[in-house]
Structure 1
Amino acid sequence: MFERILIVCVGNICRSPTAEYLLRHRLGDAHASEVTSAGLSAVTGYPMDDTALQVLLEHDVDGGQHRARQLTTALLRQSSLILAMEKSHVAEIGRMAPEATGKVFLLDRWLKGGDIPDPYRQQRPAFEHVFALIDQGVSSWLRYL
């Protein structure tokens, strides 16, 4: 059982909060894991991107309470599982906290092991595509949580 799951992207306003709120929703209230997110270069204090939030809402998940926060070494050390969106994020996390390397994986690990692209400042179809990838990634992790 992973007590603290941390999901990481760059700005913490599109991908990682989408995955955070979707995973929380899928795990339900009865699950003991704490699920949070942070960004390597977070737009600290900002809410979710409007388009990302709208796509999430259309799937009956509300991320309206989200506020972006900066990834820190303390967050990495406190987390029991860290899920990143891109291979470059995994590498950056390893540079920030080498001791965390063994608990950092791609969200897409159990599927293709690929990057989930950043939809920031793109049109809605990019957000829908990224949501589908995140949805698949989250679903693939559920059996291990």
Structure 2
Amino acid sequence: MADNKKTKVLFVCLGNICRSPMAEAVLRHKAEEQGLGGIVEAGSCGTGDWHLGHSPHEGTRRMLDAAGISCQGMISTLVSRQALEQADYIVCMDEKNEQDVRELLREWSIEPDGELLRFMELLPGQERAGVPDPYYTGDFEETFRLVNVGCDRLLSLIKNDQARLAGHARV
């Protein structure tokens, strides 16, 4: 993450219609609100191909709309080699997504430059290993609550990294 380089965040879930597009939209929105839109680039993808080309799930859109957050133009995509290679942060929404990403990294012989983490690592003290998938639970409110707080923490990490790197560049 060098000076004047965008920090690229890639959120990964199963079908890329609920959790990861919600996190992508929330992070973009928060970055813009904090004047970081020029430094933070958010994206999302899925490990499964069932919903490729689909818009975010109705429940995700409903939660984002209620919060005044746009997901316009977002469609489900499959995780790609290029996306994993270019990400500064690869944020997996649960353990299975993380396992799938690690398997792809091995299969494609990729050593990511960025940090691979599970979303819930951004929320210490939580008993959950992963963000519950509202496609199965139906609880989009709980998912939005976790995503909202986690994206605040992720932006703090990004700001700290940018400040640290900017300080090293001046030395």
TM-score by length of 1: 0.89
The residue number in structure 2 matching 1:75 is 83
TM-superposed deviation, 1:108: 1.9
Q: Aligned in 2, Cα 1:22/1:122: closer, same or farther, shift over 3 Å?
A: same
The residue number in structure 1 matching 2:40 is 33
The residue number in structure 1 matching 2:14 is 10
Following TM superposition, the consecutive aligned residue runs of length 4 or more in structure 1 with deviations greater than 3 angstroms are none
CA deviations 1:34-69 (Å, max 9, x no partner) are 111000014110001011101111011011321000
Distance in 2 (alpha carbons) for counterparts of 1:57 and 1:138: 17
The residue number in structure 2 matching 1:139 is 152
User: Does the aligned pair in 2 maintain the 1:93–1:101 contact within 8 Å?
Assistant: no
Mapping 1:99-138, distance limit 5 Å = 99-100=111-112, 103-112=115-124, 114-123=129-138, 126-138=139-151
Distance in 2 (alpha carbons) for counterparts of 1:110 and 1:52: 21
Unmatched tracts of structure 1, length 5 or more: none
TM-superposed deviation, 1:3: 2.3
Q: Which has the larger radius of gyration?
A: 2
Among all aligned residue pairs of Structure 1 and Structure 2, give the percentage whose two residues are the same amino acid. 27
Q: Aligned in 2, Cα 1:92/1:100: closer, same or farther, shift over 3 Å?
A: farther
Unmatched tracts of structure 2, length 5 or more: 159-171
Aligned length: 143
Distance in 2 (alpha carbons) for counterparts of 1:120 and 1:32: 31
User: Does the aligned pair in 1 maintain the 2:87–2:114 contact within 8 Å?
Assistant: no
TM-score by length of 2: 0.77
